[in-house]
Amino acid sequence: MFSNKKNTHRKEGASAAHDLTDTEITGSGSVTASSNKKKLPAWVIFPVLAVVIFLAWILSLFAGGKTEDSVGTPLNVVKAEKGTVKEVYNSTGTIESENTKTYYSPVTAPIKECRAVVGQAVKAGDLLVTFDTTNLERDNQQAQLTLQSSLNNSIAARAQNAKSIDAANAASAQAAAQANALADEVNALVSQVNSAYAKYQANQQAAAQQAAQNAPKVQELQAQITTYNETIASADAVISSYERGYTGRQVEINEALTAENPDPVQQQIIKDTEDYNAALKSKSETETLLAQAQDSLDALGVPPADDAGYADLLAQYQTKYAEWEAAYQAAGASSPEAGMTSAELNNLDISDNLAELAALTPEELLAKGKEGMKADMNGVVASVDILQTNSAAQGAALFTIAGTDSVRVKIEVSPDDYDKMKTGSEVTVTLADHTYKGTLDGVDKIAVPNAKGVPVIGARIHIENPDENICIGASAKIKMTVAEAKNVIVIPTEAVNASTDGDFVYVIENGIVKEKPVTLGISSSTQTEITEGLDEGDMVINDFNADITPGMKAVAKEAAAE
């Protein structure tokens, strides 16, 4: 905006000078007259040009300063737009064979020729080792007898193992049948227990209703009984006091009761005796009333509800359930002693292989020795064991081939990236100038220290299209898309800022710079997904050459599309 104004002033000044002088300045600096124009002297032209240029410069400064103050600082921005962003995981790993096989000698014999060389590419059917069969028949006679004994032992062990398994299965079946029978009894008791419990609840409800109906009369009788007990207690106090005071004084009592003119002492004796007799009578009458009230209260009492046999049935159910549970566990329990372990069975397999070799006739062993050792797959020779002795023993390792028809890349993953490793993800594998398709088909479930002591997780990428350019043990680069979001708001990654309060961006709204908190999603090396904080079309500042402050005036300079 400023440059356009300056260019305009500069053009107008030049035209004015040109019209004023009617001259053209040539490349050599000399002045020539235009056709039909009057030539002016040089001392007039140069001062005029200087004045025009100075005025243009003053006007440009005035116009530039006024525009920036009133409009704002021009800043580079990008529009928040919808797009697709991919997060790509890059790493390096080592090419490995998924099918490595060690070849063992079928005979005991000197090596006549070894054509296997470490690193050599071989095809299925290539002859790699030949034997000297001179002493083969004689050397194998003793081995045949020894290995035959081993085979017999293996057969006997397998038979015994089968018997143990059959016995365990029979015991398990018997326990299962017992458990099923007990289950039927338990189910029958469940029905009886539920029925008895329902009756018990009904009886309890009826007893509660009867008790509620009798409650007022019960309370009345209980109050009467309390009063009668108090009356009896009061009479007992009078009787006890009289008997303590007048025991052994019967003569005095009789004299007082028969005296015509009793003195004060005798009058007191007469009164106490009358009170005593009245107390005896009151106690007797009250005890009669108390017995009647107690009988009435007992008659109103509600007997405990009949449990309809619920308690007995429940006890039977609990006992039978415990029997069933024990039988069920016995039926489902594994019996590791019933059969051999996998290691023991593996040893039998090895013994069987040796026994099969030992069972061959000397002629067959000789034929195998003459046949030699051939590769049975395409691959690379990984190791040659016979280079040390130049002779082979039956069952000894001769060489190892790493197959190249089925290969993978072994990588080490940081535990921080474990959640990104999704089995089945497509991978691009690069080996030198060759590119292959791959699939992540295995991730370890444990982090172990690598050579530098850093915990890493092993992962394997199967190569779908291996060819003759595959090099076992070579380093390969892998590229895997671990996350992808389509039709989402994206901005350049460098436009995102971070602070202790979180991530944010600067935007221009109505000519003012504002700071907006944002929530980030997937990020690539160039773009970042914004899940919250921005709308499509927002002008996000992406200017590294300006000192940006929230609240400042600014003018958006949108970057040209590439």
Span 114-146, pLDDT tens digits? 888 888 889 999 998 898 888 776 755 665 666
**Confidence category of residue 46, pLDDT binned at 50, 70, 90:** low
Which range marks the domain in which residue 508 is found?
76-86+485-558
Interstrand relation of 373-374 and 31-33 (parallel, antiparallel or unpaired): unpaired
Helix, strand, coil percentages, rounded to 5, for the chain = 50, 30, 25
Same domain (yes/no): 165, 81: no
Tokens of 470: 């595959």
On whether residue 424 sits in a domain, the answer given is: no
- What percentage of the chain exceeds 70 in pLDDT? 80
Within 10 Å of residue 28's Cβ, how many Cβ atoms?
7
CA–CA gap between residue 292 and residue 284 (Å, rounded): 13
213 found inside a domain: yes
Q: Give DSSP secondary structure letters for 351-412.
A: HHHHHHHHHS-HHHHHHHHHH-EE--SSEEEEEEGGGTTSEE-TT-EEEEEEESSSEEEEEE
Q: Kindly state whether residues 176 and 308 are assigned to the same domain.
A: yes
Cα–Cα distance measured from residue 531 to residue 518, given in angstroms and rounded to the nearest whole number: 8
Position 14 scores a pLDDT of 35
Query: How far apart, in whole angstroms, are the C-alpha atoms of residue 260 and residue 263?
Result: 10
Residue 122: closest CA among 481, 556, 468: 468
Distances (CA, A) of 69 to 60, 545, 547: 14, 19, 16
Same domain, 59 and 81: no
252, 253, 287, 443 from 258: Cα distances, Å? 10, 9, 32, 123
Domain stop point among 71, 102, 125: 71
pLDDT(531) > 90: yes
- Same-domain pairing of 82 and 181: no
The two tokens of residue 283 are 């106690």
Containing H/E element for 88? strand 81-97
Question: Are the C-beta atoms of 225 and 293 separated by less than 8 Å?
Answer: yes
Same structural domain, 58 and 82: no
Assess contact for 557 and 77: CB atoms under 8 A. Answer: yes
3 state DSSP class of 244: helix
Say whether both 312 and 253 belong to one domain. Answer: yes
pLDDT tens digits, one per residue of 203-259: 778 778 877 888 898 888 889 999 999 999 999 999 999 989 888 889 889 988 888
* Rounded-to-integer distance, Cα 526 and Cα 490, Å: 10
67 and 148 both lie in a single domain = no
140, containing H or E segment: helix 136-246
**242, 272 contact by CB (below 8 A):** yes
Q: How confident is the model at residue 36 (pLDDT cuts 50, 70, 90)?
A: very low
- Give per-residue pLDDT as tens, 345-354: 778 778 777 8
What tens digit of pLDDT does each residue of 420-461 get?
A: 899 999 999 999 999 999 999 999 999 999 989 999 999 999
Per-residue pLDDT at 321 exceeds 80: yes
Q: Is residue 505 part of a domain?
A: yes
What are 31's two structure tokens?
């002045």
Work out the angle at residue 87's Cα, subtended by the Cα atoms of residues 86 and 90, and round it to the nearest 5 degrees.
125
Task: Give the end of a domain, one of 278, 305, 326.
Answer: 326
Number of domains in the chain: 3
The chain-wide mean pLDDT, for the chain, equals 81
Q: CATH no. for residue 554?
A: 2.40.420.20
Q: Is pLDDT at 16 greater than 60 in this prediction?
A: no
- Asked if 500 and 531 touch (Cβ cutoff 8 Å), the reply is no
Sign of CA dihedral 334, 336, 339, 344: positive
Averaged over 521-531, what is the pLDDT?
Answer: 91
Give domain status of residue 51, yes or no. yes
The gap from C-alpha 133 to its chain's centroid, in whole angstroms, comes to 61
User: Quick one: pLDDT at residue 560?
Assistant: 52
Residues 354, 359, 362, 368, Cα dihedral to 10°: -50
Same domain, 188 and 269: yes
56 plus 187 within the same structural domain? no
* Inside any domain, residue 351: no
Segment 145-169 mean pLDDT = 73
Whether residue 429 contacts residue 436, with contact meaning beta carbons closer than 8 Å, is answered with: yes
Among candidate residues 146, 91, 158, 159, the one with its CA nearest the CA of residue 457: 91
Two tokens, residue 297: 């209260």
Q: What is the largest CA-CA distance in the chain?
A: 189
Q: How far apart are CA 19 and CA 33, in angstroms?
A: 12
User: Which of 298, 326, 354 lies at the terminal end of a domain, its last residue?
Assistant: 326
**Alpha carbon distance 472, 402 (integer Å):** 8
Structure tokens of 274? 């009358």
Neighbours of 47 (CB within 10 A): 10
Evaluate if residue 152 carries a pLDDT over 80. Answer: no
Tokens of 170: 């029979």
Considering the domain architecture, whether residues 187 and 251 belong to the same structural domain is answered as yes
Q: Are residues 153 and 57 located together in one domain of the fold?
A: no
Task: Evaluate if residue 493 carries a pLDDT over 80.
Answer: yes
Chain center to CA of 423? 15
Same domain, 55 and 26: yes
Does 121 map to a domain? no
Give one DSSP letter per residue of 509-556, joined into a string.
Answer: ETTEEEEEE-EEEEE-SSEEEEEES--TT-EEE--SSS---TT-BEEE
Per-residue pLDDT at 543: 85
Residue 58 within any structural domain of the chain: yes
Please identify which residue in the block is written with the tokens 């299965």. 169
pTM: 0.44
Residue range 312-332: average pLDDT?
A: 84
Q: Is 55 left (phi over 0), alpha (psi -120 to 50) or beta?
A: alpha
Half-sphere exposure of 159 (CA within 13 A, CB side): 6
Q: Which of 526, 433, 438 is nearest to 479 (CA)?
A: 438
Residue 209 lies in a domain: yes
DSSP state of 188: H
Residue with tokens 């064991």: 385
- Residue 546 — very low, low, confident or very high, per pLDDT cuts 50/70/90? confident
Q: How far apart are CA 495 and CA 533, in angstroms?
A: 14
Find, among 443, 445, 456, the residue nearest to 408 by Cα: 443
